[in-house]
Amino acid sequence: MRQYLIPENGNFYKANLHVHTTVSDGRMTPEEVKKIYKDNGYSVLAITDHQIMLPHPELDDEDFITITSVEVAKNMGDYNFLPSTHFNVYAKDQKAEVFPFFDPEGFWRAIKHTMDYRTETMINYEAKHFGYGPEELNRVIAECNKQGFLVCFNHPKGSLQNYRDYGGLKGLWGMECYNTGAAQEGYEDDMDPIDDLLTEGQRKVFPIASDDAHGEGSCCGGWVMIKAEALEYSKIMEALEVGDFYASTGIEIKELYIDNGILHIETDGVDEIVLHTPIRYRKTINSKDGEPITVWDCDITDLIADCRKKYDTLAKDTYFRLDLRTKDGKRAHTRAFFLDQIKD
């Protein structure tokens, strides 16, 4: 039986889920940001200004929607010397009236200026005061989830985060595996922290490639391609919530399904695809004679059968995901698919 791992029906919508504007410390106005992304083929944009959630329905049109969102942070102090945790939170309801907030010290310092941008919908925000550390961060995540937000852990490398900071976190929806701004500063994120959380039994933690652009120079480097029925706020958020998307810095995944244990992927041409699992099982295909790979049928019947047969919990704990690369350094990542979600 064929099971689509990226939905068969619907359209792909290109989305940047992380950008800053003059509302906080970005150098572009919301209107300028929209123009840049729309001109580059994007349909969805989350304007994630620091510590202030400002919906931007005025930027929406037939071919473009904005996601109500904010980047919240907890800093231990000096950003250059001490760790800090940054979350992007995305509202399932475009008109969300409450915005999650932690770290009273970190409230956007230019808030007096940004107050001018506040609309009626912003007035009822609730300030939540939290400390730092896994337990406190879990309270933040739980609170955000309760209030209808998807929570993404941002640029772990860029903010000096390691397993001590993100290990044990529960309820994350996503984690950045690529952040253009951080990569430009030499802190290129990867999939390792996501695997750490997946192997702890966190089933989402979807890979997010984004820009975190503060100026034009870091726009359009990393994005997600969302497959949804239509370009409507609720449909886009539903697709995001269930993981109907992949992360990319320049590679297109056209189709992904599994049919009787054969994993089928179609791309616009890559030099390497790696099927990654948390156990000692890995499959790789490389381009030959400069001929890019556009289709790969990868037989994983043995993986599925062995895991189901050998250990009771292995089908529940074992997942596979795909990493794609081109020789010139472009990447794409699918989310993880757990074996007990694969139908016969």
Chain positions contacting Zn ion, by CB under 5 A: 71, 86, 154, 212
| Closer CB to Zn ion, 155 or 331, in the complex | 155
* Nearest-approach distance from CB 24 to Zn ion, in angstroms: 9
| Closer CB to Zn ion, 74 or 128, in the complex | 74
CB 276 within 8 A of CB 320: yes
CB 25 within 8 A of CB 50: yes
Euclidean distance between CA atoms 102 and 299, whole angstroms: 47
* Nearest-approach distance from CB 141 to Zn ion, in angstroms: 16
| Closer CB to Zn ion, 25 or 302, in the complex | 25
* Nearest-approach distance from CB 302 to Zn ion, in angstroms: 42
* Nearest-approach distance from CB 331 to Zn ion, in angstroms: 20
* Nearest-approach distance from CB 214 to Zn ion, in angstroms: 8
Instruction: State which residue has the least CB distance to Zn ion.
Output: 86
CB 276 within 8 A of CB 300: no
Q: In 231-318, at which residue ranges do the beta strands (DSSP E only) sit?
A: 245-248, 253-259, 262-270, 272-276, 283-286, 293-299
| Closer CB to Zn ion, 92 or 214, in the complex | 214
Cα 150 to chain center, whole Å? 10
Cα distance from N-terminal residue to C-terminal residue, the chain: 6
Q: How many CB atoms lie within 10 A of CB 104?
A: 10
| Closer CB to Zn ion, 71 or 317, in the complex | 71
Euclidean distance between CA atoms 339 and 265, whole angstroms: 17
